[in-house]
Structure 1
């Protein structure tokens, strides 16, 4: 988190990071997603010193979009996302499965 951030933004960062790790993202990727999300929210609310145009002019905040731009859109979840879900459910042989087989195994 950037220096001088509020306790609210600290909590938001931790919550997003933990959520991403639960979904199967690596620690580094989870930190990146959390930092980008919190920084965008800070820019939208005027807390950041500088902000990109997309951060301030996007019609919806990240929390309102609810993953509209995520890969789980038209193409569905990625193989890695399906693999993480299969691991949580304890599916045997998941490492040798392709995307379609993992989707069937987790019930998608």
Structure 2
């Protein structure tokens, strides 16, 4: 099987990669780079390509890579003082009022 062949991936993994690729393209990432990142994410989440039925019916694929950003954001927020968080919330509210 040549490198880059996607025949070992399930339909769900292909859909997942397409969705991730689209998200990257919306953020301005070039098409080839978006595709590369999308398949890298699917591989990280699912530990490579699988044939349908090989890992049991209805088994969850997990979402380890997609949850990394949440963990990072939580750490950053927890390190701020209550006064800093409150000031940020006031600033955001003022911006929303101004743009409304």
TM-score by length of 2: 0.48
After TM superposition, the score normalised by the length of structure 1 is: 0.44
* Structure showing greater Rg: 2
Q: Which has the higher contact order (CA 8 A, sep 6+)?
A: 2
